[in-house]
Structure 1
Amino acid sequence: MHRLQKAAAEKLEKFNKLRGHEVRTGEFWDIVVVTAIDEDQKLAYELQLSEKLRRRELPLGIHYHVFADPPGYKIGNGGSTLYVLENLEDKYGESLRGLSQRLPNASALGKIFTALPLGDPVYQMLELKLSMYIDFPIDMKPGVLVTCADDIELYNIASTEKIVFDKPGFTALAHPSPLSIGTTHGVFVLDPREESGTSQMEYRSCYRFLHKPSIEKMYENGAVCKGTAMNVTNSDFVYTDSTYYIDYATVQCLLLLLKDIRPIICEIDAYGDFLQALGPGATIAYTQNSSNVTTEESSLLKVRQIIFQWLQGKALNVIVLNNSKFYHIGTTGEYLFHLTQDDNFRSELNLVSSAFSTCPSVVPGSCIIHSVLHPSCSVGPGTVIEYSRLGANVTIGEGAIISGCDVSSDLHVPSGVFMHSLSVKVRGTTSYVTVAFAIEDNMKQCVTSLTEIDKLQLFGNSLEKCLHHWSLRVEDLKFSGDMGKFGLWNASIFPQCSDLRRSFTLSSQMICSLYGKSTFRFPKDIRLLSIQEVLQYKNLEEMLKFRQHLYEEIQENKNVHLNI
């Protein structure tokens, strides 16, 4: 454990020395690319990158780009990666080398900009990713490194070793994991002809790549290893995927592949659809398997077959990191657990309970990030507060997330609640909406008929019962978007207000009416929006302006304390 902590600290220190300084050739990435799902998200990312560069929070003297997916069909992280390569080829030609990030559209400002209780000013996922990969560019031939926005890889290697990306084809990092983790990730079947060593790092060849396989399939294909490995409590484990590199020649192959399948009208997985085609043991059979795809389009089968034809026979090299850990923080539950309860993760990254904030003494197990709290506030253990201001005598329960909120004095937020305030612009007018749900609520659940909305659960109640507490009739409820689907995501139940603080107050009163079994009545003529509509109308500049006001207030408070 200590070795991982030491290795992470050394990488963070290296990155800190580059923050705000011009970097030399080979010292850092030549190009950093963040991908966005649409033009609105691209704007959000560009605004945040510009602000980071203005405040000198990133290394300077390199190219930062945001590329949006083409309008129309969802193309998945694989399709996004192909279009990124094309954009880079158009701009830079043979000088191609960079970091491609695929970001799920789960929040208005993007998971790559998720705040972490680390650094001053605070690190977001972007800085942490760049820190953990700080040693890669100097030993990497021209090519592209592909990674996701919601996972963190920690690793340690011997001082005499270094990670080198110089082989043709694909080269992936591999982490020892329990078999249960393998069922939700990619699993490498290592070439059995190669001898396995005992060092912290090994260069191996992958015979076949399995995408989210069953445990039975892992055993059948020889993916299960025996022995001792970090983060694995019993003798059987597998090597799972995270980040991978593509050399320049293979990038050219992918560009030809793009010409063969464009326009892309289906979701391509940068892991399952690319990596399953690689290695001597790859077969075309996976192209028929739709069990691990989010939506099944008729064109997906044909596209997978074309991908297989282009990539078949190319190498999948594996850099086995035996002393490593892989953390996923893509859900609210994972985010809360790792930031407030996971002592190993917190110690390995040296996370703090209060990062770049003005707040009273923090309850152990809670986490305050880039926020201003009145000294009389009370925050329960297991709770995360980010980019928020809390007034006097505010109490927040356990295991809650408060994000982007301006909370009036004397308000109480129950345990296990997620509340996120967003600015929206509707018909040219700026207003605010605070969305709220329980951490355990299933936002993806849908029904196909209004007669079934009692099956939708919100805060432990059926949505129909919630409407009753809010003095609404079922027939009054509106849904946005696809009229054939009714769910919490597109139910128009959150009040639109002219004031940020008022928005939070109304939404908290809605919640309290459910917990107190009382009746709440919306103000007359108030408009209600769904989460889907809020993201559609989001006013990114206003949301970033609120963060900037907090930043200035925190800096001013710090300067006052220094003068004292």
Structure 2
Amino acid sequence: YRRQLAEKLSRKELPLGVRYHVFADPPGPKIGNGGSTLHVLQCLEDLYGDKWASLTVLLIHSGGYSQRLPNASALGKIFTALPFGDPVYQMLELKLAMYIDFPSHMKPGILVTCSDDIELYSTGATETVTFDKPGFTALAHPSDVTTGTTHGVFVLDPSSFSGKGGLEYTSCRHFLHKPDVETMRRCGAVCVRGNCSQLSSSGDHRDPEMDSECVYTDSIFYMDHSTAKQLLTFYKQVGTLCCEIDAYGDFLQALGPGAAEDDTKNTSDAAKEESRLAEVRQKLYSLLKGTMFNVIVLHNSKFYHLGTTQEYLFHFTSDSKLKFELDLRSVASSIFPDKAESSDGSTSIVQSILEPGCSIGPGSVIEYSRIGPAVSVGKNSIISGSHIDLEADVPSNCFLSSLSIKINDQVKYVSMVFSVEDDLKKSVKLLSDIHSLQFFGISLLECLDLWGVKASDQLFSGENTGLGLWTARVFPVCSTLSESVRMSLKMLNSVQHMSAFKLNGFKLLSIEEMLTYKDVEDMLNFRQQIYDEIHLQRQKEKPDL
């Protein structure tokens, strides 16, 4: 992260008058984005002492394994490339551009956001988003009721809320974390509004019958310095955290006059049932109860999430509203010759070199890759960081992402390949259950048989991470990038045609291990080489003046 930040700053791609810090979670068990928030407060105090009381801070949660969008796993979700700009924008630049007006209307405190969401809104000429109230202040976006089941939902105080204008400041009675529809209705979170059809944030998947109903969902939130100080004191008292805390679920659920202590006991959404989590939630509830909870309702706004392969493909390649609003390009900072076959603009080619003769199917995304002339890519596929030089057919719905790794001081390459619909988060506890894991629609057990790999406990990496596609040691380590792609495509081909392709003789890694051994420098160098080659080509194409 620091390397990528330093490179961006040296190229003047980021605002220069800002201090940037990267804070990693402390070693030990996972602590969630809530635990990370607390840890960052500690780091800021350690760095700045009493001066941190005067800082306005943008905190972007950028870690996580990104199991639902693994091309962001190695270099971080905040550095996900977007198909516009030259050099191409990444999520970090977009975040800073979106929030550019906030610091001047913000009292000292912390603005908390995630790295895989985009908030777009419009307000009247005299309306300003201001973070200057004590306690917590959250942005709220109108969404359809179904969207509310996967987000945080605000139960707004009807007496202070008219539903008119572009922006309204109101107070929140209760925050619901990923509630079901019945809970939203029972708690009074569902609003009936005649113009909700224009405001539904799912945009392209509306049920006409639900047009008059909406809920207000969360995105980013702010806490003033004194609230942050309270949380830091709590963190110091607790000592080492042993459970995952959700900055949204666990902080915001304690707020508002309608907050119930029972919410702290609901650990069904936690990664593991832990009594420790219930205890920490109870303490947070006691600490934060009564803290002011303000909401800025952005009536003309949309919240977009780019955290899964399906969302990524949809927003980048279909006629999505996000594509229209950000003017996302079909070809961004790439060499894409006229002779290369593509569909009607429904592809997304980002900082890549495609040679004449290759063909890319509709709905596919190619980023940071070199694609040779005899390569055919099917539809709805993602290819990231790869070099495909020889004849190859990449099937539809394929996810292919290559990593540089360093083992014993030697740079090697591994390419992961899946279906874009495979569930990399799914795991089982027993070896006898791995038949339920699916690789490209086929039982993993059958795939292992085709690859000549024995199903045993040694097949899976990690001690407590479960047995799943994420931890299965099935991807061959190769000496060149193009060879690693070739081997992984052969694995996939063997599964699709039910023909054997033995992996004997290869060192095999899981995705979990690839990330442990990743060689960031080599991957960034590969991206830089592509960038330099594209610009050299552009210089040659410019007519002499």
**TM-score category of the 2 structures, normalised to the smaller one:** over 0.9
Further displaced range: 440-449 or 370-379: 440-449
Give the alignment of 1:308-319 within 5 angstroms: 308-319=285-296
- Residues 261 and 306 of structure 1 are in contact (CA less than 8 Å); yes or no, is this contact kept in structure 2? no
Aligned partner (choices 430, 443, 447) of residue 462 of structure 1 = 443
Greater Cα offset, 434-443 or 289-298? 289-298
Going from structure 1 to structure 2, the CA distance change for 1:492 and 1:215 (only over 3 Å counts) comes to same
Contact between 2:163 and 2:299, CA under 8 Å: does it hold in 1?
no
State the partner residue of 2:70: none
Match of 1:238 among 196, 202, 215: 215
Local SS of the residue matching 2:141:
strand
| Offset from partner CA, 1:76-127 (integer Å, 9 cap, x none) | 0001011111212232322221110112322011111110101111111111
Instruction: State the alpha-carbon separation in 1 of the partners of residues 418 and 93 from structure 2.
Output: 29
- Tell me, in whole angstroms, the C-alpha distance in 1 between the residues paired with 2:10 and 2:126: 38
> How far is the alpha carbon of 1:475 from its aligned partner?
5.4
| Percent of residue pairs bearing the same amino acid type | 54
Aligned residue for 1:105?
Answer: 65
Query: Which secondary structure does the structure 1 equivalent of 2:155 belong to?
Result: strand
Query: What aligned pairs does 1:58-457 form with structure 2 within 5 A after superposition?
Result: 58-92=14-48, 93=51, 94-103=53-62, 104-106=64-66, 107-227=73-193, 228-229=195-196, 230-232=198-200, 233=208, 234-361=211-338, 362-363=342-343, 364-457=345-438
**Equivalent residue number for residue 40 of structure 1:** none
- Cross-structure match for 1:17: none
Task: Report the counterpart of residue 49 of structure 1 in structure 2.
Answer: 5
Q: Which residue of 2 aligns with 1:539?
A: 519
Alpha-carbon shift at residue 449 of structure 1 (Å): 2.6
Correspondence 1:508 to 2:467: no
CA contact (8 A) 2:161 2:168 kept: no
- Whole-Å separation in 2 of the counterparts to 1:65 and 1:116: 23
Once the 2 structures are TM-superposed, how far is the Cα of residue 197 of structure 1 from its aligned partner? 4.2
The SS at the match of 2:251 is: helix
Question: What is aligned with 2:205?
Answer: none
Whole-angstrom distance in 1 between the partners of 2:510 and 2:496: 21
Q: In the TM superposition, what is the alpha-carbon distance from 1:141 to its structure 2 partner?
A: 1.1
RMSD: 1.6
The equivalent residue for 1:21 is none
Q: Give TM-score, length-normalised by structure 2.
A: 0.92
2:508 is matched with which residue: 504, 520, 528? 528
**Secondary structure of the structure 1 residue equivalent to 2:23:** strand
1:12-60 per-position Cα deviation (integer Å, ceiling 9, x unaligned): xxxxxxxxxxxxxxxxxxxxxxxxxxxxxxxxx1111111112211111
> By how many angstroms is 1:471 displaced?
3.4
Q: Distance in 2 between matches of 1:476 and 1:346?
A: 45
Contact 1:88 1:96 in 2 (8 A): no
The C-alpha deviation readout for 1:400-429, integer Å capped at 9, x for no partner, is 000000111321100001011001112222
**Matched-pair contact (CA < 8 Å) for 2:83–2:328:** yes
Determine the C-alpha separation between the residues in 2 that align with 1:422 and 1:260.
41
Counterpart Cα distance in 2 of 1:483 and 1:190: 41
> What one-letter code is carried by the residue in structure 2 that aligns with 1:333?
Q
Q: Tell me the secondary structure at the aligned position of residue 506 of structure 1.
A: helix
Which moved further from structure 2: 389-398 or 226-235? Answer: 226-235
Q: Cα offset for 1:215?
A: 0.9
Q: Matches of 1:429 and 1:170 in 2, distance apart? A: 49
CA pair 319-476 structure 1, distance change in 2 beyond 3 A: closer
Instruction: Find the aligned partners of 1:474 and 1:190 in 2 and give their Cα distance.
Output: 53
Measure, in 2, the Cα distance between the counterparts of 1:445 and 1:321: 36
* Runs of 5+ consecutive residues of structure 1 not aligned to the other structure: 1-44
Give 1:80's aligned amino acid: S
Residue 548 of structure 1 is matched in structure 2 by 528
In the alignment, the residues of structure 2 paired with residue 386 and residue 318 of structure 1 have an alpha-carbon distance, to the nearest angstrom, of 38
Q: Deviations over 1:58-77 (max 9, x none)?
A: 11121111001000011100
Measure how far apart 1:476 and its partner are. Answer: 10
**1:413 aligned partner, one-letter code:** V
Tell me: CA distance 1:476–1:216, structure 2 relative to 1, closer, same or farther (3 Å). closer
Q: Is the 8 A contact 1:187 1:238 kept in 2?
A: yes
Distance in 1, matches of 2:274 and 2:406, equals 34
**Mapped partners of 1:514, 1:477: distance in 2:** 22
Shift of 1:450: 2.4
Deviation track 1:500-540 (CA, whole Å, cap 9, x = no partner) reads 11111111111112223322233x52211111111111111
What is the rounded CA distance, in whole Å, between the counterparts of 2:458 and 2:39 in structure 1?
40
Shift in alpha-carbon separation, 1:195–1:546, aligned structure 2, 3 A: closer
Q: 1:306-349 CA deviation, whole Å, 9 max, x = no partner?
A: 11111110011000000000111111111111111143211111
Q: Distance in 2 between matches of 1:189 and 1:200?
A: 19
Assess if the C-alpha contact under 8 Å between 2:474 and 2:509 holds in 1: yes
Q: CA deviation at 1:153?
A: 0.6
- TM-score of the aligned structures, taking structure 1 as reference length: 0.89
Tell me the distance in 2 between the aligned counterparts of 1:109 and 1:240: 29
Deviation at 1:484, TM superposition (A): 8.1
AA matched with 1:542: D
What CA distance in whole angstroms lies between the structure 1 residues aligned with 2:433 and 2:287? 47
Distance 1:393 1:312, change over 3 A: same
SS in 2 for 1:64: coil
2-side partners of 1:451 and 1:217: how far apart? 38
Cα contact 2:267–2:274 (8 A) shared by 1 = no
CA distance in 1, matches of 2:161, 2:370: 57
In structure 2, stretches of 5+ residues that fail to align are 67-72, 201-207
Residues in 2 aligned to 1:486 and 1:513: alpha-carbon distance in whole angstroms: 22
CA 1:366–1:260 in structure 2 vs 1: closer, same or farther (change >3 Å)? Answer: same
Q: 1:105 to 1:474 in 2, by over 3 A?
A: closer
Q: Which amino acid aligns with 2:394?
A: V
Aligned length: 519
